[in-house]
Amino acid sequence: MAEPVRGAAPAGDGDPAGDADADPDEPGRPPAVGDRPTRSPAAVRAVLQAVAVSVLGVLPAFLVGALAVQIRADLDVGLALFGLAAATLFTVSGSLARPGGRLVQRLGSRRGAALATALATTSLTVIALAGSPAALMAGLAVGGLGNAVAQPSANAVISELVTDQRLGVAFGIKQSAIPAATLLGGLAVPAVALVFGWRWAVAGAVGLAVVLLVASLAGGRDAGRRARAAGEPAAVRAPDKGLPRGGLVVLTVGGFLGSAAATSTGIFLVDSAVATGIPAGPAGLLFAGCSVLGLVSRIGFGWWADRHPGRSAYLFIANLLTVGMLGYTLLAAGPVPLFVAGSVLAYGAGWAWTGLFHFAVIRDNRGAAASVTGFVQTGLSLGAASGPLLFGIVAQAASYSAAWLTAAALSLAGAVTVRISRRMVRRSRGLPVTRLPGRRRPASPTHPAAPDLTAPT
């Protein structure tokens, strides 16, 4: 009798955690017996490069959002402009995400990263020199071009060099780029903007972008070819399973809804905190603290996914979106203590699912990581565009409370949609769509009671 693979559910056992999200009957890819994943220098460089490129891709939008109070006073613009400003970057990014992914698939990860960094540098320079709302929008539009290339480039370099056993934490670290960008924006308020002005805060970001551009241009060959030339191991992985197109489309819609809810947090939290009664300096520190929480949560959830390959990443995503809905509701409540609690839930759960989202999609499509990233990034970026725009309009026409309740509704809708996509994926693989916790599927010629491996759907 064959010995069960480590990490698989033994025959006859129920759900070992008593968790309805567990799925011990699905075929998957845990490590072979006795294997310990190694951390190669190439894989570490790949993750660091992915984080740097991803930070620059979204930094223009979140830096402008964090500096909203100072920019409003300087350019004499209304609140809705900042929703429109973020919408400009993410609309351009979402509209060009699929061709951007195909371009990176052809160019390779290194050239794609260099192109994304150059566009981000140009975007931040235009923003720093902006003397009118139109110039501000132009800078963010250029930033959208950069982000359309940045995300596929970052995912491609991770897919090339990171093993299956570390893929979750790699994407958690990579997706920590967004809270890292909001952290930089939050720290820029008390450290630079309140002392020297908002333009100097953006100028500091330009300097960072120039350094990263030089580093990317000096990087040599693409990550995969560079590792092979140095004799380092390539990422060992099983054949791609792919995702059904219908399930991928519905998952993209779920990403659109969740992103529409979550991105408004990064754009409007500081201004909303000031409106609630928190001074500008502490509001920026709250923003920075929540960004750190979001960063740690994304990495921690990725680590959890690697440690539990038989758990459903899709259901975990849906649960995080549901908790995020509660956070947005608390933000709408008004009093400062509830606002702080809502900020923690919104960042720690409602905006911490994106690493798992990329992990779930790329895990089964590693050979075409840039292309499939362009597909799902369309939903994520268009959600990030329309969400803040809708939020800004509602906040200006009604109140911040009404806007946060709108975000809560979007987050709940996203949770439901992700669950639907998961059912479609399971159905396409001939797996049961529903099962009570602790129950196992009976043995049959096509579905034996003791599977060799576990799987994350």
Residue 198's pLDDT is 86
Domain-embedded: residue 337: yes
Domain-embedded: residue 113: yes
Domain-embedded: residue 281: yes
Range of the domain at 224: 41-235+243-428
Strand partners, 22: 311
Q: How far is CA 391 from the centre of its chain?
A: 20
Domain-embedded: residue 8: no
Domain-embedded: residue 297: yes
The predicted model scores a pTM of 0.75
- Closest by CA to 203, choosing from 86, 91, 67, 92, is 67
Burial of residue 134 (number of CB atoms within 10 Å: 0-12, 13-18, 19+): exposed
Domain-embedded: residue 307: yes
| CATH classification at residue 307 | 1.20.1250.20
Domain-embedded: residue 26: no
- Closest by CA to 48, choosing from 179, 157, 130, is 157
Strand partners, 311: 22
Q: How many residues comprise the chain?
A: 457
Nearest-angstrom CA–CA distance, 319 and 312: 11
Tens-digit pLDDT string for the chain (457 aa): 433 333 333 333 333 333 333 443 343 444 433 344 455 677 788 788 888 888 888 889 888 887 888 888 888 887 778 778 878 888 999 999 989 988 988 888 888 889 999 999 999 999 999 988 899 999 999 999 999 999 898 888 888 878 878 888 989 988 887 777 767 777 777 777 777 888 888 888 899 889 888 887 776 555 454 444 444 444 455 555 567 788 889 999 999 999 999 988 877 898 899 999 999 889 888 988 888 898 899 999 999 998 988 888 899 999 999 999 999 999 998 789 999 999 999 999 999 999 999 998 888 777 777 888 888 989 998 998 888 889 988 998 999 999 999 999 999 999 999 999 988 888 877 777 765 444 455 544 544 443 333 445 5
Are the beta carbons of 57 and 341 closer than 8 angstroms? Answer: no
Nearest-angstrom CA–CA distance, 238 and 234: 13
Q: Domain count of the chain?
A: 1
Nearest-angstrom CA–CA distance, 359 and 305: 9
Domain-embedded: residue 261: yes
Tokens standing for residue 445:
């010629």
Are the beta carbons of 155 and 53 closer than 8 angstroms? Answer: no
